[in-house]
Amino acid sequence: MIPRLLRLVPPGTLPIGAGLALVGLASYVHLALAGHNLDAAGYSSLSVLWSVVFTLGIGVFFPVEQEVARLVAARRTRGLPPGPVLARGATVAAAVLGLLLLAVLGAADTLADRLFDGDRAMVATLGGALAALAVAHTTRGVLSGLRHFRWYGTQLGLDGGLRIGLVAALAVAGVDSPVAYALVLVLAPLLGVALTAAPVLRAIGGGPKVGWSTLLRGLALLTVSSLLAQVVVNIGVINVRLLDPTDVATAGALLSALVLVRVPLFVFGSMQAALLPGLSTAAATGDDPAFAALLRRAMTVVTAMGAAGGVLAVLLGPWLVRALFDAPAVLGHGDFAWLSLATLAYLWAMVLGQALLARDRHHAQAVAWTAGIAALAATTLAPLPVALRVELGYTVGSLVVAAVMVVLLRRRPRTTMPVPPAATPVPATSGGVP
């Protein structure tokens, strides 16, 4: 059974999955050791920085990785080197990073006072961590597009391993500065990039340029989709506090429940970097049967993961959140059923979104996530108990996104898509947790 399942997943899933597993372990170790060595104020500052860094990183730099991976994969089918794509992607990442750093610099005093207990060094570290993510995601896009999945997984593994080693060293030395623990988020990814730079540098090459207009159009829409996707999956806990500020018990219990039901989303992360280049290659070469087969296999795998995780969550979830997180007993088996269904639908949307990207349907993906946000908002405003409203909002929103994507995938664009980046210097039409 296991060998058969392994044949269904896209090539590269296992090495990337191993790297992601180490990154996930590093996150637990990082926060656990910091929590034992920092006082309450220091740990609070580190937690806020952690949340800001990874929320912004996923929202704005992961789309850069996806778009670079898609374009590099398309050029690879024509025997063209990735250098021009890397140059364009790095420039865009640098521009986005520059805007973020300007915002951080302009609000430095406010951020320090309200988020970091007056510590200006934490604001500087926030900027450094965002810069590290910009570099890491851009280079990972090249590795993914070239199908260097072992190197991709190695970079992830180095990032995770270095985090564990650096944080352990700080803990052994008795360091009690939140800045020191935050700097690990700067050093580890940068060292990981440096140690896996060889295959990227060897492959750079030259060749025809990539048009700015196509890259920016696709990236802008992809960023919109990425940010909206984060709203769909994360807004529930915030909505509990907005709808009933006094219901602290439900907000805490819901967050604990979401940590459990989202385990399949973490596993999907190991597939995502390998799935987009495969779909892009099939789309760029006009191999519709291969495209459909890979899409079906991916949907089969995530459905199996989501269903298995959902059954376990429904059966054991109410007990696990109390045993693992000491959460109040306010959620029952029905609540976990809704959250599990929502997560399964979200997994479908993630896979279908990759298929739209591979066909250069960035606008269609953004439309689907916008429709999902509208459905989530409408459901959340229904006259129902607070917990049920946010659970149904997550469920209905995710189902609407997946359904709209299915409809849009079945529609053929007016022109043959995608056309790989043209071999000219002018803009051309062209079709990437924890």
Closest alpha carbon to 95 in 106, 87, 83? 87
Higher-scoring residue by pLDDT: 41, 131: 131
Average pLDDT over residues 341-360: 91
pLDDT computed for residue 199 by the predictor: 82
Name the nearest CA neighbour of 84 among 74, 95, 99, 98: 74
Per-residue tokens: 54: 């990874």
DSSP, collapsed to helix, strand or coil, labels residue 72 as helix
**Mean pLDDT confidence for 15-44:** 75
For the ranges 68-82, 102-116, 325-339, 388-402, which has the lowest average pLDDT? 68-82
**What's residue 349's pLDDT?**
94
Q: Is residue 273 very low, low, confident or very high in pLDDT (cuts 50, 70, 90)?
A: low
Give 111-158 pLDDT, tens digit per residue.
888 778 788 898 999 999 999 999 999 898 888 887 788 888 889 999
% of the chain exceeding 90 in pLDDT: 28
Average pLDDT value for residue range 46-56 = 74
Of 335 and 56, the one with more pLDDT: 335
Q: Is the pLDDT of residue 430 over 80?
A: no
pLDDT, residue 183, reads: 94
Instruction: Quote the mean pLDDT of the chain.
Output: 80
Which of 189-193, 249-253, 279-283 reaches the highest mean pLDDT?
A: 189-193
* Positive/negative CA dihedral, 20, 279, 428, 405: negative
> Residue 6: which pLDDT band, with cuts at 50, 70 and 90?
very low
* 9 pLDDT above the threshold of 60: no
The percent of the chain in helix, strand and coil, each rounded to the nearest 5, is 80, 0, 20
Q: Is 87:95 a contact under the CB 8 Å cutoff? A: no
pLDDT at residue 279 in the model: 86
CA contacts within 13 A on the Cβ side of 351: 30
Whole-number Å distance between alpha carbons of 295 and 281: 13
Average pLDDT (333-353) is 93
Find the mean pLDDT for residues 411-427: 41
pLDDT band at 336 (very low <50, low <70, confident <90, very high): very high
Q: How many CA within 13 A on the CB side of residue 274?
A: 26
Model confidence at 275, pLDDT cuts 50, 70, 90, reads confident
Provide the pLDDT for residue 72.
81
How is 268-316 classified by DSSP, letter by letter? HHHHHHHHHHHHHHHHHTT-HHHHHHHHHHHHHHHHHHHHHHHHHHHHH
Output the pLDDT for position 423: 28
